[in-house]
Structure 1
């Protein structure tokens, strides 16, 4: 088994485990990112903590609400991490071969530099984004479906109250109509409904909504891997210089390095993530037209105008906890899976060689 295939399979497995563990936080964070609130409303509103919002989701949608869109998300995670780590390893192998060739010619020390790590991660990330963006559009839709339905109900209530004030409709008749609206529950919403809705709204191009900020977001894993690989290289070099025995790092050390790397990447790229989520969610969440977007530039300008800079950082504390923990678990599990895969491959090759003799 090639190390690229092993890393691809390990990345898919590690991604699934990390996704299952942290998915409720991701659901809440997506809702935080896609909630449109004007500057004035934001200043007057009471900011709720992540735990309170989790409880609100459970109260309104049940426990299943925390895992809305989990199935396509797991598919997306497996595909995304598998594709990413496969191509990352392919490009990494090529970069290492180039570095060794350069050393043979008397240039460099034979190791990959920081800029090369950025390029390797960027190429792998771009391929991953282009291939898996449709899955994440569906996941975002499913995570924010109830939120959009609630906004639609609020608009209907406002329209009913305006009509009632014009026609002097009061008393039991008005209360009955409001109660009727309150009794309407969000429609069942699965993957096929999400596919049909996206296609109806925007055609095939709708499945690549948010592709521009998502492609720019490739710098997130690029920064993450630059920090991770550079820290890992530094740790191994330092350990070898001190002659502390094995240069191998432990699972806990990988966990901590992954956390540090993801923290740096998340803080630097979070505004782009908010823009991407806004574009991929149902535009009904925006309520009035001033908070609905036709594209990336429109989203950025409207967010600056109506929400100010705080709008670009909604839910960042939740995202830091979710993404840092998920990345740490993924790195740790993935590295352990790679060891297992390569060990099994080595045993299989030995068995085949011995049987051939």
Structure 2
């Protein structure tokens, strides 16, 4: 099994576990990003308040709206990203070794090369998986309407009335329904809504991996000078390195994430045109004009908690899975050699 494939599968596994742990926060954050209050309206919903509102009015299940396509998207995204990241990384390391032979550099991959490798991997990932995230965003921002009788109303006793009332209930908002809805609105191209700001946002994982690789490299160098002989990196240290790297990247690129969510959420073509975006530039200009620059940072505190926790879990699980896979492969190879007759 190739090193790229090991990293791809480990990244997918780590991404799924991180997604399961932090998904309710992701749902809340997507709703915060797509709120379209005018700048004169100071009212905003905090993370805990919005969590309680969703549970109270829509049920616990809505916090996991779009979970299945999101898990598929996470597995695909992390698998694709880590697979191509390792391929590009191997090429960058080979190029660095060749440059050292020519007397240029120390043979290690520099910060710019790490940034370029992460950016290329991110672009491939975005182009292949954007349709999944359009579906996930629609499902996360869908508001489930309740047909429970209000105070003072009487329950329907007539079977015919009950049938008519049930007919008024909205259909289940499942994956197939969302796919059909997006296709009816904009055809195949509708599944690539928000792809432009998302492509720009490859700078987020690029910064994340650049910071992570740089901190990991310095920690390993520091450990190599340790006289006690302890040169290993623990899972907890990987957790904190991943958290710090994601925190720095998220703060810088968050406005692009808000614009992407606005474009991928369902567009209401009727009514207030201030809430309808024709494209990336139109969304940016309308948000500045009607909401001010605050609009680009809606829900950032929620996103920081969710993304930092998810990234830390992902890095920790991914490194442990890679380490375990390599150990098993090495053990199997040794057993195979021992079992061969002399």
**TM value normalised by structure 2:** 0.91
Which position in structure 2 is the counterpart of 1:171?
Answer: none
Residue 245 of structure 1 corresponds to 229
| Offset, 1:355 | 3.6
Counterpart of 1:19?
19
- Is the counterpart of residue 75 in structure 1 residue 76 in structure 2? no
Answer whether contact 2:14 2:317 (CA < 8 A) is retained.
yes
**1:140-186, CA deviations, whole angstroms, 9 ceiling, x for partnerless residues?**
01111117x79xxxxxxxxxxxxxxxxxxxxxxxxxxxxx99x9655
User: Which position in structure 1 is the counterpart of 2:37?
Assistant: 37
1:114 aligns with 2:111: yes
Report how far residue 137 of structure 1 moved: 0.3
Aligned-partner Cα distance in 2 for 1:286–1:268: 34
Partner of 1:141: 138
Distance across 2 between alignment mates of 1:64 and 1:140: 16
Q: State the partner residue of 1:158.
A: none
Residue number among 57, 60, 65 corresponding to 2:57 in the alignment? 60
Distance 1:119 1:341, change over 3 A: same
RMSD, aligned α-carbons: 2.1
Matches within 5 A, 1:227-266: 227-266=211-250
- What CA distance in whole angstroms lies between the structure 2 residues aligned with 1:32 and 1:265? 20
Q: Which residue in 1 is equivalent to 2:153? A: none
How many residue pairs get aligned? The number is 325
Q: Deviations over 1:92-127 (max 9, x none)?
A: 111111111111111100111100010010010000
Distance in 2 (CA, whole Å) between partners of 1:38 and 1:332 is: 41
Q: How does 1:1-357 map to 2 (within 5 A)?
A: 1-41=1-41, 43=42, 45=43, 47-146=44-143, 186-284=170-268, 288-357=272-341
- In 1, the alpha carbon distance for the partners of 2:29 and 2:11 equals 23
How far, CA to CA, are the matches of 1:286 and 1:132 in structure 2? 30
Q: For the residues of structure 1 that align with 2:65 and 2:226, how far apart are their CA atoms?
A: 50
Q: Distance between the aligned counterparts of 2:305 and 2:168, measured in 1?
A: 35
Q: Say whether the 8 Å CA contact 2:223–2:232 is kept in structure 1.
A: no
- TM-score normalised according to structure 1 size: 0.87
Q: Provide the C-alpha distance between the structure 2 equivalents of 1:191 and 1:326, rounded to a whole number of angstroms.
A: 24
Gaps of 5+ in 2: 147-163
The structure where helix makes up a greater share of residues is 1
Instruction: State the 1:287 CA deviation.
Output: 5.7
Give the drift of 1:243: 3.1
Bigger Cα displacement from structure 2, 277-286 vs 337-346? 277-286
Does the CA-based 8 Å contact 2:268-2:275 persist in structure 1?
no
The answer to whether the 8 Å contact 1:274/1:314 transfers is yes
Query: Following TM superposition, where does structure 1 have runs of at least 4 consecutive aligned residues deviating by more than 6 angstroms?
Result: none
1:295-345 deviations in Å (ceiling 9; x for gaps): 101100110111110000000000000000000000000000001111111
Q: 1:49 to 1:286 in 2, by over 3 A?
A: farther
Q: Secondary structure at the match of 1:48?
A: coil
